[in-house]
Amino acid sequence: MLLVLVLLALITGVAAVAAPSATAADTASADDVAAGEALFAANCASCHGLDAQGQDGVAPSLVGVGAAAVDFQVGTGRMPMQASGPQAPAKPAQFDQDQINQLAAWVASLGAGPAIPTAEQVDPSLGDAANGMEVFRTNCAMCHGSIGGGGALTQGKFAPSLLETTPTHIYEAMLTGPQSMPVFNDANITPEHKRDVIAYLDAQSAGSPGGLSLGAIGPVSEGLWAWLVLLGLIIGATVWVGARSS
Ligand code: HEC
Ligand code: HEC
């Protein structure tokens, strides 16, 4: 009986430690929010307005877009936008991750929206790449190409290559649907399936999908070994039979 109790205590203890920690947005401090407000006033308010309420014909309201949209837009260098064109392109990020988190914390404080995903939610090694390929072919390939290499759309817009995008930004793009990309909320594509898509794209950028990669030699050399061993046995048997009959 005592042993059972001890085991139970151990299991619940482990479960409590293993439970996922709070997301980035939940842990944002009041300092982060204040720092984010100051950064926003200096770098973003000229277009989005001091309260991020948006300006007609200039930039949309950011109330309720959530921390994920800010992390994606600023982290991929799309924001702050510089030249006007058919599409705000990705460019080297202008802020470091601490500053991006501060901006995100302030925007998130204006209205509820999607949070920045946790490291576990976007870890490619926890996803199923084969299922990710199915989800990608059905939902993404018509714009981004079958392996995520990118493609042109109408009116000077384009779906960029996804092979250099970080797992977190891939997740956030699905969650927030930047510009002409549709939003894939958790009812369209579950969080697990989003991670599968990340695993699929990770596999595409890691190895060449063609038939020429070095990995393809693996089974051949194994087959060769099987043949060599078999040949050795046959020769050995032949010699043995020959030696007995003489
Ligand atoms: C030159 C004007 C300009 C500046 C400066 C600018 N933005 Fe934007 N922003 C835009 C426009 C225009 C869009 C809409 C792009 C589109 O969807 O075509 C946008 C879109 C966004 C979005 C996406 C909203 C959504 O619905 O998902 C976010 C988030 C954002 N901006 C954050 C910022 C932040 C943070 C800064 C400052 C670091 C900033 N922007 C600076 C013009 C600007
Ligand atoms: C209707 C066409 C369309 C579909 C469908 C679509 N996208 Fe996109 N996607 C776009 C466009 C256009 C952009 C560029 C938006 C921008 O620059 O703000 C984009 C941007 C992205 C980015 C940002 C890439 C980077 O490095 O900057 C990611 C990641 C992404 N898409 C992933 C996906 C995934 C995953 C799916 C399927 C679940 C998907 N997209 C479905 C059109 C599409």
Give the residue-averaged pLDDT of 165-182. 96
Ligand nearest to the CA of 172: 2
Tokens for 194?
């989003």
Q: Is the CB of 52 under 6 A from ligand 1?
A: no
Q: Of 175, 184, 41, 24, give the one whose Cα is nearest residue 104.
A: 24
For residues 214 and 235, what is the distance between their CA atoms, to the nearest angstrom? 32
Question: How many CB atoms sit inside 10 A of residue 24's CB?
Answer: 20
With bands split at pLDDT 50, 70 and 90, how would you rate the model's confidence at 239? confident
**Mean pLDDT over all residues of the chain?**
85
Question: How many CB atoms sit inside 10 A of residue 128's CB?
Answer: 16
* pLDDT for residue 64 is more than 90: yes
With bands split at pLDDT 50, 70 and 90, how would you rate the model's confidence at 32? very high
Which pairs with CB-CB distance under 8 Å and at least 24 residues apart come from 82-85?
85/156
* pLDDT for residue 7 is more than 80: no
**Ligand 2 pocket mutation, candidates 81, 143, 168, criterion most atoms within 8 A of CB:** 143
Could you report the per-residue pLDDT of 227-236, keeping only the tens digit for each?
A: 777 778 888 8
For residues 232 and 221, what is the distance between their CA atoms, to the nearest angstrom? 16
Ligand nearest to the CA of 161: 2
What is the pLDDT, as a whole number, of residue 1?
53
213 or 47: which carries more pLDDT confidence? Answer: 47
CA of 34 to the centre of ligand 1 (A): 20
Q: Is the CB of 114 under 6 A from ligand 1?
A: no
Nearest CA to ligand 1 atom 11: 59
What is the pLDDT, as a whole number, of residue 243?
79
CA of 139 to the centre of ligand 1 (A): 25
Residue 100, C-beta contacts closer than 8 angstroms, at least 6 positions apart: 70, 71, 74, 75, 93
What is the pLDDT, as a whole number, of residue 237?
81
118 or 223: which carries more pLDDT confidence? Answer: 118
* pLDDT for residue 102 is more than 90: yes
What is the pLDDT, as a whole number, of residue 211?
43
Give the residue-averaged pLDDT of 169-193. 96
Q: Is the CB of 205 under 6 A from ligand 2?
A: no
CA of 80 to the centre of ligand 1 (A): 6
Ligand nearest to the CA of 66: 1
Residue 152, C-beta contacts closer than 8 angstroms, at least 6 positions apart: 158, 159
For residues 47 and 55, what is the distance between their CA atoms, to the nearest angstrom? 7
Give the residue-averaged pLDDT of 158-173. 96
Ligand nearest to the CA of 38: 1
* pLDDT for residue 31 is more than 60: yes
What is the pLDDT, as a whole number, of residue 22?
42
Give the residue-averaged pLDDT of 141-156. 92
Give the residue-averaged pLDDT of 101-110. 97
* pLDDT for residue 80 is more than 90: yes
Q: Is the CB of 178 under 6 A from ligand 2?
A: yes
What is the pLDDT, as a whole number, of residue 135?
98
